[in-house]
Amino acid sequence: MQVSMRGHIFFTVISVVLLFLSIVCRLTTGVMLRRLAAEAENMSATRSRFLKQCKLKFQSYYELGQGVMNVGVFVDKFLQGLRVGKLNLRLWDLLSGQLLLLSVFSCGIGTCLGIAHGETIRQILPYYLLAFLALYLHFSVSGLIDVPGRRQELRTAMIDFLENRMTERLQNIQEDLGCLENGEEPAKKEGGENGEKGELELLLEEFLA
């Protein structure tokens, strides 16, 4: 007795839907990281709430630590909190992998049922082809999106800004505040560095609003 056509259609549809959801999850993380990496290239004028929060938190830690901090470690910990919706970005990646496995597993169930009911290789061959297609599409999309590469690109841009620009600005602000406390006039710096304190205060008001 062979598996009904309805049964074959059911397992095929389930496999295709799970594959689609797997790719959507992977695309979600890739698009998010790509957008943030682009924003981080001009992090001083970014409109991203996530990157604005990063600058505020960095300023707070910098002032509490009196300028001594490991920027790389700070960025790594901050990126761990990156979320899409209510899920951590890492969970989206894990979910994508699990959905792919379920898609292939669904093909496996269809194959086993076909064999158990005495179907020929020709009749169950579509399941094998679908499983290979699912793996190929998933890993092809993953390669094109390159989530690890996008994350590293974002990390590098954030570290570059915080270490080479933000740190200098905060040092200048602290020096100016020290001069004011001692009754001295702050030294003028090229590029309007004395305005950075006002910029950070406006940023804080915007974030807390």
Domain boundaries, the chain: 5-208
Three-state secondary structure call for residue 209: coil
pLDDT of 118-169, one tens digit each? 778 888 888 889 999 999 999 998 888 888 888 899 999 988 888 887 777 7
Three-state secondary structure call for residue 19: helix
DSSP string, 57-76: HHHHHHHHTTT---HHHHHH
- pLDDT tens, position by position, for the chain (209 residues)? 455 677 778 888 999 999 999 999 999 888 888 889 888 888 888 888 888 888 888 888 877 766 656 888 888 888 888 887 777 888 888 899 999 999 999 988 888 888 887 778 888 888 889 999 999 999 998 888 888 888 899 999 988 888 887 777 766 655 545 554 555 554 554 444 445 455 555 555 544 44
Query: Are 198 and 177 within 8 A, CB to CB?
Result: no
Rounded CA gap, 117 and 35, in Å?
51
Rounded CA gap, 199 and 196, in Å?
5
CB atoms within 10 A of CB 132: 12
Phi-psi category of residue 79: left, alpha or beta, with phi > 0 → left and psi -120 to 50 → alpha: alpha
